[in-house]
Amino acid sequence: MANHASAEKRNRQRIKRTARNRAAKSALRTQLKKARTALETPATAAAVLKEASTALDRAASKRVVPFKRASRVKGRLAAALHKASKASSA
C-alpha cells in the first residue's frame, strides 16, 4: 500500500505500463505464432515473416523485448524459412 503521493503516482504508472507492455507482448506472440505456422507453406511465409520481423523491431524499440532477443528470433525465423523453402524446392 502506497503511503505517499509520489508512491501512489508510481503505482498508477506501473499499472498503465504493465497493461501496455502486456498488450504489446501478446500481439507480438500472436504475430510470431502466425509466422511459425506460415512456415508450413513457404510460398506465403515470406510476407508473414516480414510482418513478424517488423513486429519484433517495434517491440524491441519500445523495450517490450530486448533488442538481442528480437534479433535472435528474427534470425531463427529467417533460417527456418530458408530451410523450408529449400526443402519444398528439392
% of the chain surpassing 70 pLDDT: 99
CATH level 3 topology of 5-89: Methane Monooxygenase Hydroxylase; Chain G, domain 1 (1.20.58)
Parse the chain into domains and list their residue ranges. 5-89
Query: Model's pTM, two decimal places?
Result: 0.84
Residue 30 has, within 13 A of its CA and on its CB side, a CA count of: 6
| Per-residue pLDDT tens over the stretch 10-48 | 999 999 999 999 999 999 999 999 999 999 888 889 999
Does the pLDDT of residue 90 top 90, yes or no? no
